[in-house]
Amino acid sequence: MSAVAHDPQSDATDATSSSTPVEEPEKRKRQYKDFGHDDEKATHAKVDMSTIELKAEDLYDKEKVDLETIVIDDVFKLLQCTEEGLNQEEAHRRLELFGPNKLESEEQNPFLQFLSFMWNPLSWVMEAAALVAIVLSNGQGKPPDWPDFVGIVLLLFINSAIGFYEERNAGNAVKALMDSLAPKAKVRRDGQWSEIESSILVPGDMVSFKIGDIVPADCRLTEAINVSIDQAALTGESLPQSKKTGDQCFSGSTCKQGEAEGVVISTGPNTFFGRAASLVGQDDDTTGHLQKILAQIGSFCLVTIGIFVIAEIFVLYAGFRYRYRDGLDNILVLLIGGIPIAMPTVLSVTLAVGAQQLAKYKAIVTRITAIEELAGVTILCSDKTGTLTTNKLTIDRNTIQTYGPFSAEDVILLAAYASRTENQDAIDTSVVQALGDTARARAGIKLLDFKPFNPVDKRTEITYREESTGKLKRVTKGMTGIIIELCSRNKTEELEERLEKDVEDFAIRGLRALAVAYEELDGDDHEVEGNGFELIGLLAIFDPPRDDTKQTIDDALALGVRVKMVTGDQLAIAKETGRRLGLGDHMYPAKVLKDGPAPGSKFNNLDEMIMDADGFAGVFPEHKYEIVKRLQGLGHLCAMTGDGANDAPALSRANVGIAVEGATDAARGAADIVLTEPGLSTIVHAIRQSRIIFQRMRNYSIYACAVTIRIVMCFSILSFVYKFNFPPFMILIIALLNDGTIMTLSVDRVLPSMTPDSWDLTEIFSYAVAYGVYLTASTIALVCIIIQTSFFQDKFGVSLDSAPPISHNDPQLHMIVYLQVAIISQALIFVTRSHGFFFMERPSTALMAAFCLAQLISSIIAAYGNMGFTKIKAISGGWIGIVWIWNIIWFIPLDWVKFGMKATVIKAIRKRRERIVQETAATGVPLTRTQSRAASIHESLYSNRVSFIKRAARKVGFGGKISMKPEELQRFSSIQAQRVGQTLARNPSRTGGATPV
């Protein structure tokens, strides 16, 4: 591999040191910037190595001991091992101490998982209503209310089945990370090399790997021959990193070149890879955004129902002296009709259909509630390597510098000559592909000698015969500082100054420099020295943005979503990428997340800096996690895109984790949405589609809350005024028909918002109260006219079986009320789904067809439904016509109710919100809404449904398959030093397989 890629430590300086001249008596040595991590000098463990007992408090202090950076001799002493490896007995002992070299996974009992979907307050009330119908409804010689019981239980099981199916199909991030580990490892045990399962590696083992192998555990290299390691999936670095003796290699990274031996310093959950896995799903709070909203909507409905149920108990039993069973039927009406029984089911179907629609845009949804959260995303945190960029090195043709008679095309061609055409590394591939036609890399020349890259020379070299002239020529390419020293023909002070300036300009822009030199040979001996190398050009290498990334970012900004780059690459590279994408170059190094803003900066705190930043560079998994967490703490819904295992913790923490095309299994497992098409344009389609889905759910939420108020208020008032005993089964029919129709909202025709959506529950509840009260008035007015007057009988010639005065509990009156409530309640959806007049926004064909079918069924039931057990009786066609006309008359003003609410109550609510936001912006203090204790408890019931079931399962013996997650690892640096050192200190070696300390 070319020098720039393979020795990032060499000639690396920081931005300040390179620009500061150093006064020396002799001519100063020029510094040619290259990118890579700065050299970390090996240190000694600051502990007493003469004793075998190591104190835990010493090992917790990274300044005293760190297995990643201390000298190799100290590593062997601390781990009590030698280069001969462990013996089998000692290895077995350590396996028991440290555990297997794999990540723990958590399994769930499917049956308990299914039951967990019935663990929330809405389901409890549904279950309570079922118990009331089957257990408490025994009395006065009447049988249990089987019809209501069966209907309620059926809805419960449908809801649980849908939720169970969705959750079981979701990916398991920890399992995906575990599967990414190398299955086999070459290890030295009892002085002999053998191949074993990587899961039984232990700290202190000697391992070996070569090109193409996956590093089986975190290790320190004891021998390295031309080693290059691809860590892109772990650290986000776009280039493979060269490694030398003493360097650390991460578990899960891939050896791209060379051979190496090393001593294992950490395994399983203590590796860099394992610590990333431990961050996935770290928080105990498993409540999604939608679950929290459902909890609050559920609370509103439950409080409303509770108020009227208590009122009925006092009025009917204490006031009217109702008999037990009659009063219970009235309470059942409120429970069955008031609870939005199918709310979770309706929203699940809406989301499921939305997921199918997103699949058309090549976006696979693994956590279905993420669709709703995507609609409200305000900040998109994007990884750079492989996400914003192609993760394929490219020659930037626009910045090629030439230093002689050769053109830019000549420089590329000669550099391609000096590159391998087979078994290429990343830089050779980029140079050869820059030709356009890769065959030109060997066309017209005869290869005589080729020297591949090696860490000492830091360059490649080709000697060839030009077929057209028969002349021998030689070309070399590699690290700038090495190449210029070879250029005896044209090296001058002026050329060196120009080259140094060009290299520094490249470095400032985040471009890696690759120098190219050329010489001719006299005679026919290709092994002799030439007439001197001549510097002919400087190539700039970078990881280019994807073709559609800039447009995607612009589209995201137009939708009100701000994009921030979060990358493991260097700051200069991040800034250059940001400039090319129009993202901005307000980038900061990851260390500011720990140190905070510099004294005297324009930022008062770290949160302000994070909000201002266009991105962060040099980040590790815990940094990405911290950025997302802080943005969420400021009230933002965050999406995170990524493609590597290093992105998994942040993908899991984000409200919406998005794994881009080509992502690793680990990233896909942690993500909520997986893209199967290259580029980020799919995300914009997904955001728009999610906002359409959000509008459908909002429309349903207003409708469901309004129907709750309408049912409980209407039938409570009727029972208070007229001792009206409506049959519960008819309310169940209304609920079933309504929910069947509302399911079609999942494909309704709506327009997406151009700004991030949010659940303004105050607005939703205000609309619901207004609609509910209005519809209640429509029913009570009809009942009053029928009972108190003979208006309809006189005007339309209709009659009821009982002569006036009409009995308050006439079976035909019940049927009239049933039909009136069924029609106008369902028609309300046409008002809640529209922003203007209902007829100005055409509904979907499915919704319209479902409404017509439901009302046809309702009318047929009204005409022919003589069901004795319901105390209800069919009515004539005249009464059916009267009810339809009555509902049309009352339906038309519903739009004016909506407009009136917008002009008064909703306008006042929004003004108050804007004032609070302005005050918050002025003070710089993030807005936090105080939550009542009751609401907090209610929300926790949703968040802890699974954990509660698990605890219960363990107590009754069902939880045998459920294992605990790895403990939460808050300290990210050198955790393996703590674990390994502490364990060995407590359990000193009892065998001869380790070196005594």
Residues in the chain: 997
The H or E element that residue 261 is part of is strand 254-266
Q: Which residues have CB under 8 Å from 667's CB, separation 6+?
A: 642, 643, 644, 645, 647, 648, 651, 659
Whose CA is closest to 677, among 703, 655, 658?
658
Contact 568, 616 (CB under 8 A): no
The H or E element that residue 184 is part of is strand 184-189
**How does 496-531 read in b/e, with b if 16+ C-beta sit within 10 Å?**
beebbebbbbbbebbbbbbbbbbbebeeeebeeebe
Residue 823: CB atoms within 10 A of its CB come to: 23
Residue 153: CB atoms within 10 A of its CB come to: 15
Structure tokens at 973: 């640096």
The phi and psi torsions of 694 (rounded to 5 degrees) equal: -60, -45
Structure tokens at 657: 């984790």
In terms of phi and psi (left: phi > 0; alpha: psi -120 to 50; beta: otherwise), the region of 837 is: beta
Round to whole Å and give the CA distance between 243 and 291: 48
DSSP 524: S
Round to whole Å and give the CA distance between 946 and 952: 10
DSSP 407: -
Round to whole Å and give the CA distance between 236 and 381: 14
Round to whole Å and give the CA distance between 804 and 785: 12
67, 70, 642, 996 from 43: Cα distances, Å: 10, 4, 35, 21
Structure tokens at 469: 């002239």
Q: Which residues pair with 227 in a beta bridge?
A: 243
Whose CA is closest to 994, among 115, 87, 364?
87
Round to whole Å and give the CA distance between 652 and 670: 5
Q: Which residues have CB under 8 Å from 573's CB, separation 6+?
A: 35, 238, 384, 510, 542, 543, 567, 617
* E strands in 508-572: 512-521, 534-542, 562-566
Give alpha helix (H) positions in 789-932: 791-796, 811-827, 829-832, 845-864, 877-891, 894-901, 907-923
Q: Which residues are part of the catalytic machinery?
A: 383
Round to whole Å and give the CA distance between 383 and 115: 38
The phi and psi torsions of 938 (rounded to 5 degrees) equal: -60, -45
Residue 756: CB atoms within 10 A of its CB come to: 20
Peptide bond into 805 cis (omega under 30): yes
